[in-house]
């Protein structure tokens, strides 16, 4: 489903070229559970941003569902993001002035889904994520775990094929972190591909496939036989 | 994203930054209110002057002795003779024109007026019964000059309100005798107090029949003749007829000046209209200042909301959508600001109207429209740049920050 062919990403810093990703070749299939690990600065977040179409490769080709998405214009890239990709961030990135329900509703609003249908879908999701009694609360009235659950609900309301999670538990204590992880893994069970960026090896080990990155290269690609 | 959602989202983010929003609306509304109030004042001044002129009488043509030449030499100057006076016969002759409804000859002089022990110098105006309707004067008591032939004198007089007060106090004036110079006049009426109008205070006058005034001042000359045309359309003809008749009367010489009140009025009207425009233009500058302020605050808002913008992009909003959102915010802001400004302006005009009731303060419709349009226009214009900046924001950088 996701195909990277010889993808590089080079940043210009103070007139100097700094390669963040060097000649990445990667193939992910639908419904896969992949973790990307590595020290900070190894390019894991850059890779995630490229997969999520938030950034463009300097060279190489990226195919998503057989479509070359590197050449798409802004409008179409946004559409692909909207329909196929969900983001979960370390710092949740909820809109502070909007209630939990409205934060979850946001992708539907952007997609132009009619209000009646929006309400139903948000209501269902709130219910299944155990947030029904928190619908009207603003993010600052929610606990960290609740916030991340709202963020996951927002990432999945468009029923994306891929879920990109950048240190989703990095800002949570251990117990809530575990809850959030089990929620994400539950989604993998439902057929969503989960790409998890983390520097925590214990967390990374849970994934069926593990990528190790160092210095902008994938140095190891192992599969966890027992869980696969 | 459809229009309602865009507007809802934009108004939501405006509500999210309450003090910022209120300050911007305030700036905008002060700008709009300034335009409304200043043009209302200018327009009020114009209407005031126009009103003053029409209180002098309507459809007036004024005949003055002497001719002011703007170019060349007055032939009279070369021959060593001055122009002829306008006399009562001339005034009477003006009625031959079919365009003229009525005339009022005027003679002016000062005389010592006394009643009992009180006396004072007064302005004496000699005229006829028609002066009352021509000059739109009103009577408080008694009657005006009798409608007698203008050549015949009659020892009656009508007092201005102030003269009556000063010479008679609370005493009844109508029916009493008043000494003017060396003659005696019977008071037959008192004018209603009208105050100053175009430099002539009718409160400070004594009106007598024109022939009596001529006897009093020992003269034949008229100060001027007021001619009322039958209608507005006939003013030009009345003017021309008056000139022709006066030329005939004066042996083929054009030695009088005939002016129409309309010409003077039109000049004032033009000047004051230009003034209103100028003042409105100055106020419009304050509006554009408000526009720059909006731009500044919108830029700050973009900086403050980088994260939100990045998030919206990650959730699938194309750049055009982000631009539209910020645009909608600016339109809402300047729209609400202009509304508030119009309200403020109307209230301000009403307050000024309370303090200066003589001034008809009310903003002309074009100024209201222009202020509203300018406010909305500047708001939109000055939001283009911030909106673009928001749209061009790199989502990766925006989301990387905490």
Distance from CA of A226 to the nearest CA of B (A): 34
Q: Do A97 and B399 touch (CB under 8 A)?
A: no
Domain end position, chosen among B206, B231, B256:
B231
Integer-rounded Cα Rg, in Å, for chain B is 34
Are B380 and B272 members of one domain? yes
Are B148 and B216 members of one domain? yes
Q: Do B317 and A54 touch (CB under 8 A)?
A: no
What pLDDT sits at residue A141? 94
Instruction: Give the residue on A whose Cα is nearest the Cα of B325.
Output: A110
Contact residues for A149 (Cβ-Cβ < 8 A; gap 6+): A129, A130, A131, A180, A183
Q: Is residue B28 part of a domain?
A: yes
| A83, A87, A97: residue with CB nearest B314 | A87
Q: Is residue B69 part of a domain?
A: no
Are B318 and B366 members of one domain? yes
Q: Is residue B243 part of a domain?
A: no
Are B212 and B338 members of one domain? no
CB < 8 Å to B400, chain A: 45
Domains of chain A: 2-223 (3.40.50.300)
What pLDDT sits at residue B363? 78
Buried b (16+ CB within 10 A) or exposed e, B273-304: eeebeebbeebbebbbebbebbbebbbebbee
CB < 8 Å to B15, chain A: 97
Q: Is residue B191 part of a domain?
A: yes
Q: Does B266 touch chain A (CB under 8 A)?
A: no
Instruction: Give the residue on A whose Cα is nearest the Cα of B393.
Output: A54
What pLDDT sits at residue B127? 93
Residues of A at the B interface, defined by Cβ within 8 angstroms: 45, 49, 52, 54-55, 74-75, 77-79, 81-83, 87, 89, 91, 93, 95-98, 106-107, 109-112, 154, 158
Domain end position, chosen among B184, B214, B231:
B231
Are B48 and B138 members of one domain? no
Q: Is residue B42 part of a domain?
A: yes
Distance (Å, whole) CA B298 – CA B13: 12
In total, the C-beta contacts within 8 angstroms joining chain A to chain B are 68
Are B203 and B111 members of one domain? yes
Are B284 and B200 members of one domain? no
pLDDT averaged over consecutive 10-residue blocks of chain B (402 residues)?
A: 84 85 87 86 83 75 76 52 78 90 92 90 92 87 90 92 90 91 92 70 89 91 90 87 90 84 80 85 80 82 86 89 88 88 89 83 81 82 86 83 56
CB < 8 Å to A49, chain B: 396
Distance (Å, whole) CA B350 – CA B344: 10
Are B307 and B383 members of one domain? yes
Q: Does B319 touch chain A (CB under 8 A)?
A: yes
Q: Is residue B153 part of a domain?
A: yes
Instruction: Give the residue on A whose Cα is nearest the Cα of B399.
Output: A93
For A54, phi then psi, to 5°, come to -85, -15
For residue A18 the two structure tokens come to: 């700094």
What pLDDT sits at residue B285? 83
Per-residue pLDDT of chain A (228 residues; tens, 9 = 90+): 899 999 999 988 888 988 999 999 999 998 899 999 998 888 888 999 999 998 889 999 999 988 898 888 888 999 999 999 999 988 888 998 899 999 999 999 998 889 999 999 999 999 988 898 999 999 999 998 899 999 999 999 999 999 999 999 888 898 999 989 999 999 998 889 999 999 888 888 889 999 999 998 999 989 876 544
Are B324 and B371 members of one domain? yes
Q: Is residue B60 part of a domain?
A: no
CB < 8 Å to B307, chain A: 93
CB < 8 Å to A110, chain B: 1, 312, 315-317, 321
What pLDDT sits at residue B270? 86
Are B189 and B278 members of one domain? no
Instruction: Give the residue on B whose Cα is nearest the Cα of A111.
Output: B1
Q: Do A81 and B314 touch (CB under 8 A)?
A: yes
What pLDDT sits at residue B158? 94
Q: Is residue B84 part of a domain?
A: no
Domain end position, chosen among B185, B213, B231:
B231
Are B221 and B276 members of one domain? no
Are B287 and B333 members of one domain? yes
Q: Do B16 and A109 touch (CB under 8 A)?
A: no
What pLDDT sits at residue A228? 44
What does the H/E/C string look like for chain A? CEEEEEEEEEEEECCEEEEEEEEEEEEECCCCEEEEECCCCCCHHHHHHHHCCCCCCCEEEEEECCEECCCCCHHHHHHHHHHHEEEECCCCCCCCCCCHHHHHHHHHHHHCCCHHHHHHHHHHHHHHCCCHHHCCCCHHHCCHHHHHHHHHHHHHCCCCCEEEEECCCCCCCHHHHHHHHHHHHHHHHCCCEEEEECCCHHHHCCCCEEEEEECCEEEEEEECCCCC
Total number of domains constituting chain B: 2
CB < 8 Å to B5, chain A: 109, 112
What pLDDT sits at residue B128? 93
> Residue B22 is part of which domain span?
3-53+266-400
């Amino acid at each position: 489903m996701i195909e990277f062919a010889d993808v590089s990403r080079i940043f210009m810093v103070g007139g100097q070229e700094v390669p963040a990703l060097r000649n990445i070749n990667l193939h992910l299939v639908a419904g896969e559970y992949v973790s990307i690990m590595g020290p900070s600065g190894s390019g894991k977040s850059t890779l995630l941003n490229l997969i999520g179409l938030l950034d463009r490769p300097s060279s190489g080709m990226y195919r998503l569902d057989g479509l070359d998405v590197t050449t798409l214009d802004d409008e179409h890239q946004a559409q692909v993001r909207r329909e196929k990709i969900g983001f979960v961030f370390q710092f949740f990135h909820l809109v502070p002035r909007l209630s939990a329900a409205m934060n979850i509703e946001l992708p539907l609003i952007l997609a132009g889904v009619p209000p009646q249908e929006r309400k139903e879908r948000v209501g269902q999701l709130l219910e299944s994520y155990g947030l029904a009694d928190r619908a009207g609360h603003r993010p600052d009235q929610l606990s960290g775990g609740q916030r991340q659950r709202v963020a996951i609900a927002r990432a999945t309301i468009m029923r994306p094929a891929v879920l990109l999670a950048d240190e989703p538990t990095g800002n949570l204590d251990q117990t809530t972190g575990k809850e959030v992880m089990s929620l994400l893994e539950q989604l993998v069970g439902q057929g969503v591909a989960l790409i998890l960026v983390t520097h925590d090896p214990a967390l990374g080990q849970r994934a069926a496939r593990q990528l190790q990155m160092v210095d902008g290269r994938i140095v190891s690609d192992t599969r966890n036989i027992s869980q696969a | 994203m459809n229009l309602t959602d865009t507007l809802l989202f934009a108004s939501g983010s405006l509500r999210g930054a309450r003090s910022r929003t209120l300050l911007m609306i305030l700036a905008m509304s002060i700008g709009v209110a300034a335009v409304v109030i200043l043009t209302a004042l200018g327009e009020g001044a114009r209407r005031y002057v126009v009103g003053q002129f029409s209180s002098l009488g309507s459809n007036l043509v004024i005949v003055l002795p002497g001719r002011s030449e703007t170019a060349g030499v007055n032939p009279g100057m070369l021959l060593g003779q001055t122009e002829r006076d306008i006399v009562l016969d001339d005034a009477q002759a003006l009625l031959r024109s079919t365009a003229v409804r009525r005339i009022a000859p005027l003679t002016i002089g000062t005389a010592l007026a006394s009643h009992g022990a009180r006396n004072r110098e007064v302005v004496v105006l000699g005229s006829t019964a028609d002066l009352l309707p021509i000059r739109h004067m009103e009577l408080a008591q008694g009657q005006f000059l009798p409608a007698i032939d203008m050549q015949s004198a009659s020892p009656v007089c009508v007092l201005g309100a102030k003269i009556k007060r000063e010479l008679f106090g609370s005493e009844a004036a109508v029916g009493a005798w008043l000494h003017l110079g060396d003659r005696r006049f019977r008071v037959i009426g008192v004018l209603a107090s009208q105050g100053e109008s175009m430099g002539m205070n009718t409160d400070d006058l004594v009106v007598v029949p024109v022939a009596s005034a001529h006897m009093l001042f020992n003269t034949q000359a008229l100060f001027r003749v007021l001619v009322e045309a039958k209608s507005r359309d006939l003013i030009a003809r009345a003017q021309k007829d008056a000139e022709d008749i006066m030329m005939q009367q004066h042996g083929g010489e054009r030695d009088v000046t005939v002016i129409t009140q309309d010409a003077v009025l039109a000049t004032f009207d033009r000047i004051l209209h230009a003034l209103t425009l100028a003042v409105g233009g100055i106020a419009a500058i304050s509006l554009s200042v408000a526009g720059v302020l909006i731009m500044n605050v919108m830029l700050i808002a973009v900086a403050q909301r980088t994260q939100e913008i990045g998030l919206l992009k990650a959730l699938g909003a194309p750049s055009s959508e982000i631009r539209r959102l910020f645009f909608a915010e600016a339109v809402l802001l300047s729209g609400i600001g202009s509304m508030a400004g119009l309200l403020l302006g109307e209230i301000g005009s009403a307050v000024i109207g309370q303090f200066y009731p003589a001034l008809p303060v009310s903003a002309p419709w074009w100024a209201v429209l222009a202020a509203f349009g300018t406010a909305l226009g500047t708001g939109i214009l000055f939001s283009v740049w911030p909106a673009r900046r928001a749209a061009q924001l790199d989502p990766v950088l925006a989301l990387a920050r905490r």
